[in-house]
Structure 1
Amino acid sequence: MTTTTPHTTGKRVTHLDEADHPLAPLTADEIARGRAVIADAGLLSEHSRFPSVMPIEPPKDVVRAWTPGAPMHRVAEFVVLDVSTGRSVEIDVDLDARRVAATRELATTTAPYGQPAYLQEEYELAQEIATADPRWIAAMERRGLGDRIDQVFCSPLAPGNFGYEDEVGRRIIRSLTFLRDHPDDVAWAHPVEGLLVTIDLTERRVISVRDEGDVPVAAGSGRYDTDAVGPARTTLKPIEITQPEGPSFTVEDGAVSWENWRFRVGFNAREGLVIHELGWDDGERVRPIMYRGSIAEMLVPYGDTSANRYWISYFDAGEYYLGRSANTLALGCDCLGVIHYFDGMSHDDNGNPLRIPQAICMHEEDASILWKHTEFGYGTDVRRQRRLVISFIATIGNYDYGFYWHLYLDGTIEVEAKATGLVFNGSGIPGTDEPHRLEIAPGLFAPVHQHLFCARMDLEIDGERNAVDQIDVQRIPMGERNPYGNAFTWERTRVETEGGLDAAPELRRTWQIVSTDRTNALGRPTGYELIGEGWPTMLADPASAVWARASFTHHHTWVTRFHDEERWPAGKYPNQHAGGAGLSAYVADGESVDGEDLVVWHTFGPTHLPRPEDFPIMPVDQYRFQLKPNGFFDRNPTLDVPEWSSSEGHCCASERPRRYGVEQG
């Protein structure tokens, strides 16, 4: 990365031309170099494809010991899939020595199975295979749709794992059928109900065609462009966000400084945005808070029992790769203000580097009141809150997801996910009531489903040795401890071993991550408090296939002992995996987490009951949690925030009597 000046034009970006830090994203040269090493070693053929290219981050002690300008040892993992045989191999490449460091064949044909993420070319391949199958053609003709085959869009989706004999151990994808009335139409509004095709991608053949029912295809338009909906309203006046003196942050070689915050911006093909080495500069040193943070997985399980949808449970990071699906962000549309962009580096199916321009947006936002008080007879003091926003947006099929890290002046960290795009639909009989789907437009039914995001946070509150306390408020029965009936209290319970923890909104349950080495001015451990929304975790039955495959959704919060290889909430290869990987495996040994190097995982997100207002395109829904300082500071750390709130130097208290030194009366 190189230093760039933040801007409002959207023309200058931070490039990924040279690795300048052990945690820097892979560069185009490194990806190309690694591919060349594998080719020179004779490990590629014309059938070789690359579902994944990921950096192997060095151990923490190596990163901490490194100094600018010192040599770095850069290693990348290339997953190579032979599309003619289905054989998949992990290949570690030492990028500096230009040699293959290790190879590991994936056990995709033996239990518990698991496949690498899908290739881009496999989506088009699935449509070609499905629409050429005589059984699919016959099903379309039986429905009276034989003359519309050239208007078909086939949606390829990961199949899950149900132990079906003709699917386990194979590279499988399922395909649903949608129609377009014309080339510019939105196919998601016209589902062909009851038609499901299962495809073996390696053998390039249809395993089965399931053809049930004769429900008419929903006919209403799903378009949402100006030509379809009419002229845009003219009543909204422009909002301009300007910072004539520029923003308050600086960026140098991927390292960001904003007020007291210090961190590095990272990116990879699977997770997308990664925050590294987040800390707070107190003037004497940078106090560590989080070594690494990301949205490491997300699951979208559907609650519909129909043949078309009972099997749907997208692992959008592990099966489709969020970073590889990242958008190029546009000024004034995705981001507003004085923007600093970071490019993202991914790869194509052939293992070549693929740059995503302006994949990450960073900017400042006003965030309402920071603090305020009016003292009778003395006057008012008020300060404005501000936050730094680091974000990226990924499109996965019909949905679009925005992921945001917010850093506030008072030390609060907020993680937010936004969901928009098009809800996944099926056709139905207009006006009917169904137990698992809701009618959102005439004859168009959207199934109930969940969006369960999992944030992985390698925390280091004032150092590596941390512990977690669960905090519950408690009602006290009226009696000796509560003579007037008004009292309540709290209970602090130390989490001693690895495991999952559940939210309890009625108890205001939170979790405090505390240092076991450092105390504040009150003699108590410094810490941060995890405050979640407490929405439902997975609602599928514990005996279901998806329950076994997505253990991270069983609890809101997990605490584990740090291990380098424990990176993925649902395991490294959730695609067609039978289950038992990820967090349920990580906590099986029950290691102590009291005073250790900890990772905290938090699952959050909605249970979505679709509504007519979600059609034809869904307004953004927002879901979030916070890490809030609790004893990390000795007092309010924002007392020195100035009164002015604009470049004109407007003083929030300038037209009011000063609070101190003014005589009462």
Structure 2
Amino acid sequence: MPRAQTSHPLDPLSAAEISVAVATVRAAGKTPEVRDSMRFIEVALVEPEKHVVALADAYFFPPFQPSLLPRTKGGPVIPSKLPPRQARLVVYNKRSNETSIWIVELSEVHAATRGGHHRGKVISSKVVPDVQPPMDAMEYAECEAVVKDFPPFREAMKKRGIEDMDLVMVDPWCVGYHSDADAPTRRLAKPLIFCRTESDCPIENGYARPVEGIHVLVDMQNMVVIEFEDRKLVPLPPADPLRNYTAGETRGGVDRSDVKPLQIIQPEGPSFRVSGNFVEWQKWNFRIGFTPREGLVIYSVAYVDGSRGRRPIAHRLSFVEMVVPYGDPNEPHYRKNAFDAGEDGLGKNAHSLKKGCDCLGYIKYFDAHFTNFTGGVETIENCVCLHEEDHGILWKHQDWRTGLAEVRRSRRLTVSFICTVANYEYGFFWHFYQDGKIEAEVKLTGILSLGALQPGETRKYGTTIAPGLYAPVHQHFFVARMDMAVDCKPGEAFNQVVEVNLKVEEPGKNNVHNNAFYAEEELLKSELQAMRDCDPLSARHWIVRNTRNVNRTGQLTGFKLVPGSNCLPLAGSEAKFLRRATFLKHNSLGHTIFT
């Protein structure tokens, strides 16, 4: 008989498992110096092979679905337990400037280890040359302190009328890769500088006063300023009364006090059911995961379709990267090309919704666990929000002969998290609808990254938003990775990608009225062929189609991928940031869609 398992193979690592993984790697350090120099960038689950997930869902975890496994002669061979879980660690050695990747096998971990003993086993480790892992909040704080304590910097700020360093904000930005001088053989940052006013506002918006003309380059490994130049004296923008994000009346405006309360209540509780990280709602079921880099991950998405039972749709859904290139060629903005997932981590910058709930109604929260820079475990409580929303009309019809009308309201299930990366906030939402639709949505909020203007100056590459202040033009690219499995059991490869374009029929005997159009399909046979762009003029979309299953009309089943508003990079083909972001040159790459 299968043994009871405490963690599903796709569950995020627990705090105890992270502690074991860190202790195992640290103990494997050859010398005390090596162990003391280890900085733990990321500890995440090694996702198992799909057949292991199927085995777990079939026999080890409710709702127990043996149909997920292929039929075999003599019946299935059921092991007594699942393979041990594994952790993948990205470790930075501060002394040697080396980045290494470790795989650690974890035994059953029920609580934090005691007495200094660890229960993990190193499976592999390798040094990855000439790369830099994401920067950490601890490094950011240390970098800010180093810059503010640098005498030439203090002198430059004094020229601008600022002597109180407590007002100064130093935002370290990854140096990017504009030339060989920026090569990732060194851990470098080029900070952006801002300055608050001497107000007593508890949430002063320092981003409204950018400090321009100061060039700083910081060696983040040794935490020293290695380049400094006060290139141009640009006056600080004046303190605008609208700069802060306090209540409107405190800024000379009026609050919307005439809005009456709107109550969202569910007196009988929610319609969803949650067991651990497994969610069931309105025929949908899936698992919730979370990683330091991506944040929210949705696993094993399926739809229960009457007599056809559980129909798989996707093995894994997530946003894997976010690229923000700026379009102003002036200093320092041309270097602002953020890779917010790879350079910072969307998950590690997630909010605890205990500090301000962004959802309404009956809410189920999920916590997230991470390692900090020194290997300690930190928990973001109430990190992921699960709730239902009323979404207007799903379907309606009124018969004009009888006057009878029927209407169905739309309910959707939303899974979300929100993160802050420097000045911006990003809300990531996955919506599941009653009509079988899945929608990915990103909400952008927070504060703009701004630039200062000389008196009377305007900028072609931005919008003036206040005296002496402008917002440089820029783009946000959100990269979604979808590992689809439409009507496929684990191990099956019966999916293909088809592109659909609407075509206008040529005038002739088949189109004598010149009104005919039709949908034309093209099978995309390789990833190279699948490097495609959106085309609203032909209503272009893609279908991930199963090659064996048919619906009741005899057509092959599939899931349609419909792009939203979209745009390719508004930069020249030789733009420096595209060396790291060649994937942005097309909207679709195989099963990856960019929105």
TM over 0.5: yes
2:339 to 300, 305, 315: 315
The structure 1 residue matched to 2:502, chosen from 451, 473, 487, is 473
Residue from 289, 303, 314 that aligns with 1:266:
289
Tell me if the contact between 1:347 and 1:353 (Cα under 8 Å) persists in the aligned partners. Answer: yes
Aligned-partner SS, 1:450: coil
Match of residue 121, structure 2, among 99, 118, 138: 99
Over 3 Å counting, the alpha-carbon distance change for 1:380 and 1:146 in structure 2 is closer
Q: How many residues in Structure 1 have an aligned counterpart in Structure 2?
A: 541
C-alpha displacement at 1:146, in angstroms? 4.9
CA RMSD of aligned residues (A): 1.8
In the alignment, is the contact (CA less than 8 A) between 2:497 and 2:523 conserved in 1? yes
TM-score, with normalisation over the residues of structure 1? Answer: 0.79
Counterpart CA distance in 2 for 1:150 and 1:341 is 36
Q: Which residue in the other structure is 2:244 paired with? A: 223
Residue 245 (structure 1) aligns with: 268
Q: SS of the residue aligned with 2:42? A: strand
**Letter of the 1:86 counterpart:** N
CA contact (8 A) 1:392 1:403 kept: yes
Q: Matched residues in 2 for 1:554 and 1:430: separation? A: 38
AA aligned to 1:122 is E
Decide which of 160, 165, 169 is 1:144's aligned counterpart: 160
SS at match of 1:45: helix
C-alpha contact 2:354 2:381 (8 A) present in aligned 1: no
2:434 alignment partner in structure 1: 409
Distance in 2 of aligned mates of 1:504 and 1:261: 31
Looking at structure 1, the residues matched to 535 and 251 of structure 2 have their Cα atoms a distance apart, in angstroms, of: 44
Residue type of the alignment partner of 1:101: I
Comparing 18-27 with 251-260, greater Cα deviation is found at 18-27
Shift of 1:431: 5.0
Quote the residue 1:122 is aligned against.
139
AA at the equivalent of 2:219: D
Contact residue 182 and residue 188 of structure 2 kept, 8 A: no
| Alignment check: 8 A CA contact 1:53 1:351 kept | no
Q: Which amino acid aligns with 2:459?
A: E
SS of residue matched to 1:214: coil
Question: Do residues 440 (structure 1) and 427 (structure 2) align?
Answer: no
Supply the AA of the counterpart residue of 1:424: S
**Aligned: 1:556 with 2:587:** yes
Which has a greater percent of helix? 2
Alignment partner of 2:9 out of 17, 22, 31: 22
Range with bigger deviation, 218-227 or 235-244: 218-227
Are 1:78 and 2:89 counterparts?
yes
- Compared CA separation, residues 150 and 240, structure 1 to 2 (3 A): closer
1:64 counterpart = 2:95: no
In terms of mean alpha carbon deviation, does 293-302 or 550-559 score higher?
550-559
| Partner SS state of residue 273, structure 1 | strand
Q: Distance in 2 between matches of 1:224 and 1:250?
A: 38
Contact in 2 for aligned 1:220/1:441 (Cα 8 Å): no
Q: Is the 8 A contact 1:50 1:348 kept in 2?
A: yes
Q: Aligned with 1:522: secondary structure?
A: coil
Q: Structure 2 length normalisation: TM-score?
A: 0.88
Q: 2:212 and 2:222 mapped to 1: Cα distance?
A: 27
The Cα of 1:150 is off from its aligned counterpart by 3.7
Pairing of 1:281-296 with structure 2 (within 5 A): 281-284=304-307, 285-296=309-320
Task: Render the CA deviation track for 1:67-96: whole Å, top value 9, x for unaligned.
Answer: 316334211011221223312221111112
Counting only pairs closer than 5 Å after superposition, residues 477-516 of structure 1 correspond to structure 2 as 477-499=506-528, 500-516=531-547
8 Å CA contact retained: 2:160, 2:235? no
CA distance in 2, matches of 1:331, 1:159: 32
**Are the structure 2 counterparts of residues 473 and 176 from structure 1 closer, same or farther at C-alpha, using a change threshold of 3 Å?**
same
Deviations 1:293-325 (A, max 9, x none): 001111111111112111111111111011111
> Aligned match of 1:543 in 574, 577, 594?
574
SS of 2:287's partner is: strand
Deviation at 1:151, TM superposition (A): 1.8
**8 Å contact 2:45–2:87 — kept in the other structure?**
yes
Query: Which letter does structure 1 place at the counterpart of 2:532?
Result: L
Supply the AA of the counterpart residue of 2:518. Answer: T
In the other structure, the counterpart of 1:519 is 550
Say if 2:197 and 2:239, in contact at 8 Å, map to a contact too. no
Q: Which runs of 5+ in 2 are unaligned?
A: 62-80, 108-118
Report if the CA contact (8 A) 1:196-1:307 is conserved: no
> Aligned with 1:420: secondary structure?
strand
Q: 1:165 aligns with which of 160, 176, 181?
A: 181
Kept after mapping to 2: 8 A contact 1:89/1:104: yes
Identical positions, percent:
37
Q: Is the 8 A contact 1:541 1:547 kept in 2?
A: no
2:423 to 395, 398, 415: 398
Q: Name the CA distance, whole Å, in 2 between partners of 1:134 and 1:480.
A: 83
| CA shift for structure 1 position 106 | 1.6
Where does residue 37 of structure 1 map in the other structure? 24
SS at match of 2:479: strand
In 1: Cα distance, 2:295 partner to 2:483 partner: 17
